[in-house]
Amino acid sequence: CLNGTTMHHNNTTWFCGCYMKTCQDGNILTEMRPHMCCMENDTMHDDDTTWFSGCYKKTCQCGNILTDMRPYMCCMDDTTMHNNDSTWFSGCYKKSCQNGNIIADIRPQMCCEYNNTVYNENHSWKDDCKIYTCSSGTFVEDWITSQCCHICGIIRKNCETWTENCMIKTCVNGQVEEKLEPNNCCQINDTLKNCGDTWQIGCIKYICEAGAAIVDGND
């Protein structure tokens, strides 16, 4: 008999999990042996054996799993088990397991927490427009003016381009460069007209279409 990649001779017996298997004339006969073991997830435990799972002590007895809570021996923090009297760090907190209870001690002078990331004291990092430094548990922010443009509360990244009225604007090393957008606007003397704008000079009405002033009618 071929079981997986293992060959078994005729009339031989072997165990697989909580099952007893026998090879008879090329066929595998399977017999459940519930009083001989316990299956937890994909792990087999022999009868009368004891193991630990999280904060629980478990025992296999006659095919049944007996569970004994041991709250004074450990603490569960999310899905992680910590033994009694052990200490660990989570974010900006120092935690310890004491008689089954988690004692949390904030350590604000040691780190800063930002977007679920912990930064140690004096550590610096930057995004597109700012540099941040962890100082005494708080963030100190500085603008990187050579990389961004700060316009009326709006932050533009370096090399970012946007359209405002009839102008195409680009942030270049902290400075805004402008150029006329001829395809969408009309420049009449010193006045810029957006596409679709109308105006009148004398008796003639004009409309701005695709960068050109078109006669829209006469009065």
pLDDT at 182: 65
Q: For the beta carbon of residue 149, count every other beta carbon within 10 angstroms.
A: 21
Specify whether the CB–CB gap between 55 and 71 falls below 8 A: yes
Number of CB atoms found within 10 A of residue 116's CB: 6
Confidence of residue 150 (pLDDT cuts 50, 70, 90): confident
Average pLDDT over the chain reads: 81
Q: Which letter does DSSP use for residue 85 in this model? A: T
- Tell me the pLDDT band of 134, cut-offs 50, 70 and 90: confident
Per-residue pLDDT band at 146 (split at 50, 70, 90) = low
Tens digit of pLDDT for each residue in 188-212?
Answer: 777 778 788 888 888 889 998 877 8
